[in-house]
Structure 1
Amino acid sequence: MSVEGSADVVLHRPLTPAQVLSWLPHDATPAQQDSAIQAHFKPSEIRWSKRPDTLHLPGHDKGRNLLDVNIPQYYREGFFSKDTLFHPELPGGRYGTAGDPVPYNAQNDHIITLILLLCFVTAFISISSVRDFIARQTKNFFYGTRAEITETTNEWRFQLFLVFLTGLQLALLYYFYTLNYISDTFVLASQYHLIAIYLAIILGYFLFKMVAYSIVNGVIFDSKRNGQWIKQYMFITSVEGVLLFPDVILQAYFNLSARFVIIYFTIALILVKILTIYKCFTIFFQRNVVSLQIILYLCALEIVPMLLLWRILGITANNLKINF
């Protein structure tokens, strides 16, 4: 560039990255482009502005952090500040769509695991301490004895504890049945409340049967055979709990299908009823065999209470479930 009456003046414009990249061949790799840019452009020192911040209201100091509790009032007030529904201190929830909840699995339920573990350990310790009593009861059940056997307080407590364990395992099995066939959501605050309700109903069923047996047998038979039957009934109930324990473990921790659980439970129940019929026959009807009498006796005191228990449990589950 030339100006009249003066020497030529050369103007130097600042170099741009586009110009540097235009010097490279068209097939230059990104690494080559980056090297060319770094060779022509050096980072310079950052010089921060020392001018005052003017982005605030006239007559007031510069703005401060919103997290500062001492900020002026006009920084905290807004259009919705006086609205009764405006609560910025409350969390507004999480963003996005909620996913599907993880299905319930008893294997991951620590409370049920603790209950089963305590039951197993307590039963193992109790059985080890009354092994002679269990052997005597088993021998007396199948062979019988004419001698009157008195049981100690610890042996009675052991039998009551086994009856309680049987009721607990029945409650857990019906709880698993409820989750599979009735519902998995209930109006109760916790699913453990439902298990406790089932346990109370089943223990009430055991108590009702013992009272009914005592009343009926006290009218028809003598007190000696009535006492023998109560002892044998508690032993049969304890055996039922022992048979059901593997069923609960398989359902809770090995994901056994509900069909096989029901089949196992049915087989165990049939075996228990066979033992009940056998012992009822040997105690009450061995001398005077009357087939119709024993059938009516078992139907009134075994079949009817069992069907009534099933109905009560079903009504309880249907009344406590949430209908969508």
Structure 2
Amino acid sequence: MDDAIALTLLACFFLTSIALSRGKRFLSQQVKDFMLQRERASIFDTSTAADMRYLLVLVLQTCVLSGIVLFNHFYDSVPQLMSRVSPLLLLGIYIGSCLGYFLLKWLVYMFTGWIFFDKNKTSMWLESYSALIYYVGFALFPFVLFLIYFDLSPTNLIIIGIIILIFSKILMFYKWVKLFFHQFDQVFPLIVYFCALEIVPCLLLYRGMTLMNSILLLKI
């Protein structure tokens, strides 16, 4: 019954429809590039300005939908927070946190790639990371619709959310192996590197959200 959430979802639907209708060829090519191994990155060379705008909109949509999922989770787990803090303010904070998380990960990937890998492989990984983000947004959209309008239980929310998260991490690890794994003795460093940049940041993000909620409860 929240008009702001309904308008947000409606805007996401129209933006997704426009992106799919006008950039479906480019988006489908990104899926092929993600699954296949190429010699060099191409997203910044072959894409038009319109394509890049669609990609940025889809990445922003992923952040918005992720913020709605977090909002719904904390609505169930910390109900007193919703009665003391403006829901729109909380939703904005969660969306901003997700956006900051993805941008920080992008910068970390650029920095670590500059140190440990060559420029071409780093560019291909950033391209694959961007593609994975906006396709996760496609998966989150029906999930959020069921979450809001069919009143999923907190248990089902956590299970489905974990499944989406694990599947995205498996795809990321798959791409890492194709890009950076050449010898068997590199498996262990790759796993450590993957955990440091993928698993730990997710835990830190969730922990940061819970600490922020506690601070809001104490100050308001």
TM-score, normalised by the number of residues in structure 2:
0.92
Residue number in structure 2 paired with 1:267: 163
Query: Helix, strand or coil for the counterpart of 1:321?
Result: helix
Residue number in structure 2 paired with 1:134: 27
Q: Distance in 2 between matches of 1:315 and 1:143?
A: 41
| Distance verdict in 2 for CA 1:143–1:182, change over 3 Å | same
> 1:183 Cα deviation (Å)?
2.2
Q: Which runs of no fewer than 5 residues in structure 2 stay unpaired?
A: none
Give, as a single letter, the amino acid of the residue that structure 2 aligns with 1:156. Answer: M
5 Å-filtered alignment, 1:81-120, equals 108-120=1-13
**Structure 1, residues 281-311: CA drift from partner, whole Å, max 9, x if none?**
11111x2341111111111111111111011
Contact 1:186-1:322 at 8 Å conserved across structures: no
Q: Distance in 1 between matches of 2:115 and 2:52?
A: 25
Q: Distance in 2 between matches of 1:212 and 1:223?
A: 14
Residue number in structure 1 paired with 2:111: 215
> 1:147 Cα deviation (Å)?
5.9
1:166 aligned to 2:62? yes
Higher helix share: 2
5 Å-filtered alignment, 1:1-324, equals 108-146=1-39, 149=42, 150=45, 151-184=47-80, 185-188=82-85, 190-285=86-181, 287-289=182-184, 290-321=186-217
> 1:156 Cα deviation (Å)?
2.0
**Structure 1, residues 195-252: CA drift from partner, whole Å, max 9, x if none?**
0011111111111111111101111111011111101001111121111112211111
Q: Runs of 4+ in structure 1 displaced over 4 angstroms?
A: none
Q: Distance in 2 between matches of 1:136 and 1:255?
A: 36
Higher relative contact order, chain-length normalized (CA < 8 Å, sep 6+): 2
Contact 2:114-2:122 at 8 Å conserved across structures: yes
> 1:322 Cα deviation (Å)?
6.8
Q: Distance in 2 between matches of 1:117 and 1:288?
A: 48
Contact 1:173-1:248 at 8 Å conserved across structures: yes
Q: Distance in 1 between matches of 2:121 and 2:214?
A: 41
Q: Distance in 1 between matches of 2:195 and 2:52?
A: 28
Q: Which runs of no fewer than 5 residues in structure 1 stay unpaired?
A: 1-107
Identity, % of aligned pairs? 32
| Distance verdict in 2 for CA 1:110–1:322, change over 3 Å | farther
Quote the RMSD (CA, aligned, Å). 1.8
Contact 1:187-1:322 at 8 Å conserved across structures: no
Q: Distance in 2 between matches of 1:221 and 1:147?
A: 14
- The alignment covers a number of residue pairs equal to 215
| Distance verdict in 2 for CA 1:148–1:271, change over 3 Å | closer
Q: Distance in 1 between matches of 2:199 and 2:104?
A: 13
Contact 2:40-2:124 at 8 Å conserved across structures: no
TM-score, normalised by the number of residues in structure 1:
0.63
> 1:172 Cα deviation (Å)?
0.6
Give, as a single letter, the amino acid of the residue that structure 2 aligns with 1:138. Answer: V
| Distance verdict in 2 for CA 1:272–1:148, change over 3 Å | closer
